C-alpha cells in the first residue's frame, strides 16, 4: 500500500472519446461545490534535471466561456469539470504550486484545484516523472530533490509566459502538497531532510505505510544518494506553504524547522488516535506543527488519508475489488468525503486570505 495519492491500476485506463467533438460532447454543467467553472489549460515545460519535457496544468478564474470538459476522468474517480483554454479573468491572483504524491498525478486533485480557482486563486499543478500514475517507481520516487526542482522549473515557466504572469501576484506564491507532495513543498520552503532517519524507521517498520512501497523496490534510505534527499532545496519565491498529511515529517532537522518563519498550514486527516504515524504532524507524531515558528494546524476528522482523493464513481469500489487494488473508495462509518473536501478547501482558502502580505 502506498501512503500517498496513488491512482489504482484500474483508474489508469483512459476513457476514450470523452470529448471527441467539444461542442457536442462537452456541455457546460455545474460542479460539485458551485455553479461556476474554473478555467483550465495544459502545457509542457523544460526542466534541466529531466531528460524530457514535463507536464503541467494551470487552473484559474475564467474570464470567458469556451467549452466544459472533464479533467481527470476515469473508471474509478469522479472528474472535475473546467472550461478548457478559457481566457483568464482580468486581475492579479495568488498562485498555488501543487505537488501530488507518488502514484498520483496533476489532475487527480482537480477537485481541490478547481475550487481554489473558483475562490480566486491560480493553481499550477505538475506531474512528477517517475512518481506519477503509470510510472511510479520506488527508486525514482526516492529522489526527493527532483520533485522540488520540478515545481521550481514549472514556476519559472509560468513567470516567463506573458499570458500567465500578468495575472500572478508575485508576493503571494504558495506551495501546496499532499502526502509525499507535502514532503516536497516543505523541502521547497527550506526544511532539510535526513534520509537515514527514514531508513532506520523503515528497517524497523517494513510494512508501515510508505515503507512498504519503497521496500518493494529495494530502496534503503540509509544508502540513498543524499545529494537528492538531504540538501537545502529552498525556493525563495514561496511566501508560504500548505502541507496535507506530509510524508515522514520526523525526517526534518530541528535546525531547519526552527529557521522556517514563513506562514505554514499543516493539515492532518483524522484524529490523533487514527492518523498514520508516518504522516502525523501533531502531538502523537512528529510535532511539526508545534515546532514550526509560524504554523497553523488543522485536523479534519473524521477522515482518513484516502479521503483526500477524488470522489469515487458508483462502480469504483467494485472495480478496485476486481483488480485487487487498495480499497481507496471505502470510507469508515461516519466519514463523508464530500464534507472532508469542503473543509479542506475552506481551510486552504482561509489560509491564503490570512497569509496575504
Q: What is the pLDDT of residues 246-283, one digit of tens each?
A: 999 999 999 999 999 999 999 999 999 999 999 999 99
Residues in a beta bridge with 126? 56, 99
Vertex 96: Cα angle to 354 and 356 (nearest 5): 20
Considering the entire predicted model, what is its pTM? 0.90
pLDDT in tens, 323-356: 888 889 999 999 999 999 999 999 999 999 998 7
Segments making up each domain of the chain, as ranges: 9-195+228-354
- Contact partners, residue 230, CB within 8 Å, separation at least 6: 192, 193, 194, 195, 224
- What does the pLDDT read at residue 8? 52
DSSP string across 192-216: -B-HHHHHHHHHH-TTSTTHHHHHH
Measured distance CA(139)–CA(213) in Å, rounded: 10
CB-based contact 317:282 (threshold 8 Å)? no
Asked whether residue 27 carries a pLDDT value surpassing 70, the answer given is: no
Measured distance CA(126)–CA(143) in Å, rounded: 16
CB-based contact 289:281 (threshold 8 Å)? yes
Asked whether residue 32 carries a pLDDT value surpassing 70, the answer given is: no
Q: At what angle do helices 180-188 and 144-159 cross, to 10 degrees?
A: 60
| Number of alpha helices (DSSP H) and beta strands (DSSP E) in the chain | 12, 10
pLDDT in tens, 167-225: 999 999 999 999 999 999 999 999 999 999 999 999 999 999 999 999 999 999 999 99
Query: 9-195+228-354, what's its fold?
Result: Rossmann fold (3.40.50)
- What does the pLDDT read at residue 44? 97
Measured torsion, CA atoms of residues 311, 124, 244, 355, in degrees rounded to the nearest 10 = -120
Amino acid at each position: 500500500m502506498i501512503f500517498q495519492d496513488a491512482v489504482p491500476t484500474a483508474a489508469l485506463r483512459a476513457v476514450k472519446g470523452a470529448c471527441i467533438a467539444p461542442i457536442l460532447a462537452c456541455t457546460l454543467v455545474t460542479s460539485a461545490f458551485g455553479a461556476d467553472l474554473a478555467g483550465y489549460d495544459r502545457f509542457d515545460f523544460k526542466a534541466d534535471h529531466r531528460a524530457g519535457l514535463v507536464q503541467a496544468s494551470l487552473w484559474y478564474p475564467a474570464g470567458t466561456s469556451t467549452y466544459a470538459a472533464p479533467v481527470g476522468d476515469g473508471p474509478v474517480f469522479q472528474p472535475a469539470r473546467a472550461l478548457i483554454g478559457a481566457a483568464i479573468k482580468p486581475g492579479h491572483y495568488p498562485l498555488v504550486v501543487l505537488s501530488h504524491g507518488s502514484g498520483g498525478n496533476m489532475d487527480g486533485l482537480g477537485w481541490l484545484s478547481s475550487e481554489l480557482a473558483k475562490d480566486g486563486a491560480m493553481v499550477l499543478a505538475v506531474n512528477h516523472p517517475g512518481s506519477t500514475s503509470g510510472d511510479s517507481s520506488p527508486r525514482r520516487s526516492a529522489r526527493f530533490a527532483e520533485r522540488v526542482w520540478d515545481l521550481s522549473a514549472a514556476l519559472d515557466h509560468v513567470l516567463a509566459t506573458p499570458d500567465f504572469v500578468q495575472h500572478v501576484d508575485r508576493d503571494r506564491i504558495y506551495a501546496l502538497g499532499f502526502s509525499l507532495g507535502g514532503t516536497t513543498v516543505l523541502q521547497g520552503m527550506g526544511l532539510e531532510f535526513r534520509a537515514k532517519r527514514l531508513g532506520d524507521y523503515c528497517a524497523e517498520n517494513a510494512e508501515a505505510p510508505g515503507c512498504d512501497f519503497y521496500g518493494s523496490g529495494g530502496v534503503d534510505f540509509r544508502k540513498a544518494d543524499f545529494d537528492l534527499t538531504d540538501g537545502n532545496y529552498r525556493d525563495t519565491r514561496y511566501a508560504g506553504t500548505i502541507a496535507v498529511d506530509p510524508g515522514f515529517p520526523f525526517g526534518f532537522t530541528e535546525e531547519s524547522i526552527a529557521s522556517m518563519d514563513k506562514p505554514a498550514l499543516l493539515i492532518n486527516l483524522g484524529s490523533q488516535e487514527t492518523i498514520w504515524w508516518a504522516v502525523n504532524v501533531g502531538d502523537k507524531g512528529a510535532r511539526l506543527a508545534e515546532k514550526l515558528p509560524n504554523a497553523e494546524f488543522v485536523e479534519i476528522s473524521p477522515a482518513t488519508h484516502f479521503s483526500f482523493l477524488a470522489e469515487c464513481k458508483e462502480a469504483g469500489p467494485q472495480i478496485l475489488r476486481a483488480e485487487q487494488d487498495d480499497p481507496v473508495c471505502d470510507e469508515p462509518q461516519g466519514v463523508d468525503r464530500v464534507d472532508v473536501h469542503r473543509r479542506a478547501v475552506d481551510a486552504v482558502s482561509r489560509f491564503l486570505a490570512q497569509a496575504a502580505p
